[in-house]
Amino acid sequence: MENLQYTRDWKNENIVVTIGRTRVGGNHFLLVAGPCAAENSKQMAGITDMLSGSSVKLLRGGAFKPRTSPYTFQGLGKDGLKLLRQTADTLKIPLVTEVTDLKHLETVSRYADVLQIGSRNMASYELLKEMGHQAKPILLKRGMAATIKEFLYAAEYIASSGNEQLILCERGIRSFDPAFRNIVDLNSVALLKKRTPFPVIVDPSHGSGRTDTVLPLSLAAAAAGADGVMVEIHPSPEIALSDGEQSLSPKDFQLWIDKLSGLAHYLGKTV
């Protein structure tokens, strides 16, 4: 892969991204969970109950939601950020949420500890360059139709602009098979870990779009060398305003925690 600067040739040892007291990379295996989007205070109270006392060290959740259909729930905007921040503060863990547009950057930065660039914006190069100037870690998701090379170049836009606190996220790529929303590309996890020192995590919720495959895909991701897994959860997935079909219920989430934490420990990682 020519012209790539941020490879193992640049830094052979793994980069550990620091988010307050939370770590990802090296021997630190990161569990990330939260709702697809903040909906209301009752839902977020349920999320707090699900995460309290768990091994999850980073809360995820959307406030500005880029959706395929203009007629679906687009998020609560600033009100959603307030709900997410309140939940993160109650749980005493950091928050990652998506920046969808440069005009939202200042607002999102006031509430979030990690700034996410989602799949639909992986190739928004002006946004990527601006992320390089931020003093916060960046979580970069692979585009749903992006090659590994394109994904790595997107990461280089951020790192070469000055921000090397970067987490790469495999979240599934499009396929011909309608049985799944996307296909989790575990090949990419193995290759990215070999080619780059940045931490690599996997999002099996978006990767498959099905709750019944989230756990096995999470375990497979850990076995493939991922530095963490990010999932969507909801206290009542059947009434979720977005992505309920891929969100773990409280019972399934507890099983996910137990199984994945056990495997991470077996692999010599700290959860």
Q: What is the average pLDDT value for the chain, to the nearest integer?
A: 96
Tell me the mean pLDDT in the region 152-179: 96
Mean pLDDT, range 6-29, rounded to an integer: 96
Q: What is the pLDDT of residues 176-222, one digit of tens each?
A: 999 999 999 999 999 999 999 999 999 999 999 999 999 999 999 99
Residue 87 has what pLDDT?
98
pLDDT at 67 over 80: no
Mean pLDDT of 216-231: 98
Helices in the chain by DSSP H: which ranges?
41-51, 78-91, 105-111, 125-131, 148-159, 186-195, 204-208, 211-223, 250-266
The three-state secondary structure class of 197 is coil
Q: What is the pLDDT of residues 30-66, one digit of tens each?
A: 999 999 999 999 999 999 999 999 999 999 999 998 8
pLDDT band at 149 (very low <50, low <70, confident <90, very high): very high
* Local confidence band at 70 (pLDDT 50, 70, 90 cut-offs): confident
Rounded Cα distance between 67 and 115, Å, is 18
CATH code of the domain occupying 17-266: 3.20.20.70
pLDDT at 1: 55
Domain ranges of the chain: 17-266
